[in-house]
Amino acid sequence: MTAQTAAHGRNVSREFLEERAKFVRLETVRLTRIAGAGHYSSTFSAAELLACLYYGHLRINPAEPLWADRDRFVLSKGHIAIGLYPILADLGYFDPRLLDDYTRLGSAFGDHPDMKKIPGCDFSSGSLGHGLSVCLGIALAARPQKRDYRVYCMLGDGELNEGQVWEAAMAASHFGVGNLVAIVDANRLQIDGATADIMGVEPIHERFASFGWEVQRIDGHDIDAVLGAFDALPRGTTGKPQMIVADTIKGRGVQMMELSLNWHVGNLVGRDYDAVIEEIQAGLKPVTATEVRP
Amino acid sequence: MSNEASSEQGAALSGLFTGVSDLKESRSVKGTPASRLPAFVLGEELGDLADRDPRVMVLTADLASANRTTEFRDRHPDRFFDFGIAEKNMITAAAGMASAGQVPYAATFAAFCAILCAEQIRTDCAYPDLPVRVLGHHSGMSMGFYGTSHHALEDIAMMRTIAGLTVVCTTDANHLRAVLRASLDHPGAMYIRMGRGRDPEVYGEVPAITFGKAIRLREGGDLTIIATGAQVRAALDAAENLAGQGIETRVVDMHTIKPLDEAEIRAAAAETGAILTVEEHNIIGGLGSAVAEVLVECERVPFRRHGMPDEFALIGPPAGLYAHYRLDTPGVTAVALELLGKG
């Protein structure tokens, strides 16, 4: 199926988006080698979500990063900035060669994104639990300005442990912020183990629904499903805030990383590096991991 | 600058803004008209700013009736948001609004913004250099018998270590007006510290202020008292007491803690016999510490930090606490005499 997202984003094919998700994973591997450590697996779980958002959906103009009517995207799970930077570079927000100095002394590009240094980054992040409040504020600012932009926030499922998320969730429905869209990359793992074991957050969709949100729950690696969820978002700046719970696999795309606790932060070297590049280039295979692995 | 001079500059500013409404004019607290009480001025002044500037928004956390931003709410309901008892969400949402071009003023007890939300102020407001104005009212121990949970005797210390954050203490009602007006186009994030809202008057008119520039309120060569917030009044009155004993005291309103007016501190060190700092804050990390950091690089003069000792306050009404901790006029007078070896 060819994705039709002209209403808000751009007409792009499913094959193109798969290719861009692959690009996110490959760039993550490349940049991690420059830094010597990086968040592979929590970036891989969000690769399709990021690709669909930026290439197929968001109302943005890379030639005018501060365009007042643009949609905003806040990466509340800021530790996957390594997957966002290549997209912003690819779209033309800045020279892709700048990423060759990723994390080096004086670089604009650290493990977490800095809005003051990076064109296209709508808000700095890194401290989990803040992003939804940021987006709430941006969404409310549309009212006195009479603008119709949407604000998108990507959170991790582990991040939902943070109390501030629920303060924002409560306020978003109370204020009827219909132009706020939250996407939870529910990849089932946090640093110390499965989210279910460390601090259970499920059922995420029911919890947000009970907080007054309109909720969709989809397969976050299925490009048609992701675009379909975006297309189903209602227009307007008032109404229920919108939640998309995306079921994903942490480490998706590299089998040894899938649902593995070993790869939250890591560094591929030697033959492992080459093998992973090859595996990503070959495209997604069926998931083999059925439970969390040490 | 003398009181008289500041009054003249204030007169130059007055008339540019709408006056006190009839309703407000009719209200008073213990004989002091509402127009001279910061508590009544805040909502009105913010409302006036919003009349002229569409960027102004006001947020509070279930304390609109305590900080009287209700007046703003009534005048600009579309730009007022009560976040309920959820301060962290409020501060971060304010940062989001600022990133979209607004100038949000987020008001709550100093204990629940500067202390509870220190990380949100650092990470979401100061680090992205956004024009969020955090209004911490009821600072120090002005909440009296509500106790330590509601006191903020650590906020200056916490806020002034945050890079790029402007930290200002308001002195009285007219000074608050001046601070709010000047804050509108001030670059970056600000922490604006307010007292209980009944702070005694120092400025008869709205003073002309510049952030980072102290206001010298009285001249004297024997001693300089550098004070901030409500203690400026106590310092002026103590200076009057000391004059009766032949001691001439310079009094400086150090309303901006950061950036600090280092030149004014160096001038006090060079031109007067001793320096006393007075603040309603733990003596660790506040105004006294900030001044001391400058003084250690100057020629030495007798110096003493006066404020809250490093302990949690007793329970009591504010006036009783100020007397106990010697932050009232007799207390400041006594401490000044001790510093000068005449106590």
Q: Is the dihedral of CA B126, B132, B133, B139 positive or negative?
A: negative
Helices (H), B223-306: 231-243, 262-271, 287-295
Q: What is the pTM of this model?
A: 0.90
Could you tell me the pLDDT band of residue B5, with boundaries at 50, 70 and 90?
Answer: very low
Q: Is A152 on the interface with B (CB under 8 A)?
A: no
| A232 in Cβ contact with A202 (< 8 Å) | no
| B122 in Cβ contact with B81 (< 8 Å) | no
Check CB contact under 8 Å for A144 and B99: no
**Chain A interface mutation, best of B78, B85, B89, highest count of A Cβ atoms under 10 Å:** B89
- Indicate whether B209 pLDDT > 60: yes
The DSSP line for B216-236 is EEE--SSEEEEE-TTHHHHHH
Q: Where are the domains of chain A?
A: 2-281
Domains and their CATH numbers in chain B = 3-193 (3.40.50.970), 215-339 (3.40.50.920)
Q: How far A50 CA sits from the closest chain B CA (Å)?
A: 21
Q: Is A118 on the interface with B (CB under 8 A)?
A: no
From CA A185, how far away is CA A80, in angstroms rounded? 11
Give the right CATH number for A2-281 from 3.50.50.60, 3.40.50.1370, 3.30.390.50, 3.40.50.970.
3.40.50.970
| Residue type for position B15 | G
From CA A211, how far away is CA B102, in angstroms rounded? 27
- Indicate whether B16 pLDDT > 80: no
Query: In sequence order, which residues have a C-beta less than 8 Å from that of residue A47 and are 6 or more positions away?
Result: A21, A22, A24, A25, A83, A252, A253
| pLDDT of the residue at B169 | 98
User: Chain A residues with CB inside 8 Å of B100's CB?
Assistant: 68, 72, 137-138, 141-142, 145
Tens of pLDDT, residue by residue over B262-314, are 999 999 999 999 999 999 999 999 999 999 999 998 888 999 999 999 999 99
ipTM, 2 dp: 0.91
Beta bridge mates, B14? none
Could you tell me the pLDDT band of residue B14, with boundaries at 50, 70 and 90?
Answer: very low
CB neighbours (10 Å) of residue A18? 16
DSSP A199: S
| pLDDT of the residue at B31 | 75
User: Chain A residues with CB inside 8 Å of B129's CB?
Assistant: 116
CB neighbours (10 Å) of residue B307? 27
Q: Is B54 on the interface with A (CB under 8 A)?
A: yes
From CA B218, how far away is CA A274, in angstroms rounded? 75
Check CB contact under 8 Å for B95 and A134: yes
Q: How far B184 CA sits from the closest chain A CA (Å)?
A: 17
Query: Mean pLDDT per 10-residue run, chain A (294 residues)?
Result: 44 94 98 93 97 97 97 98 98 98 94 97 97 98 97 98 98 98 97 94 98 98 97 91 98 95 88 95 90 82
From CA A196, how far away is CA A3, in angstroms rounded? 34
**Chain A interface mutation, best of B78, B92, B122, B127, highest count of A Cβ atoms under 10 Å:** B92
Q: How far B9 CA sits from the closest chain A CA (Å)?
A: 35
User: Chain B residues with CB inside 8 Å of A133's CB?
Assistant: 88-89, 91-93, 95-96, 120, 124
From CA B299, how far away is CA A90, in angstroms rounded? 58
- Kindly identify which residue of chain B lies nearest to residue A133, measuring between CA atoms: B93
The pair of structure tokens assigned to B141 is 């121990």
- Higher pLDDT pick, B1 / A9: A9
User: Chain B residues with CB inside 8 Å of A171's CB?
Assistant: 83-84, 86, 89, 93
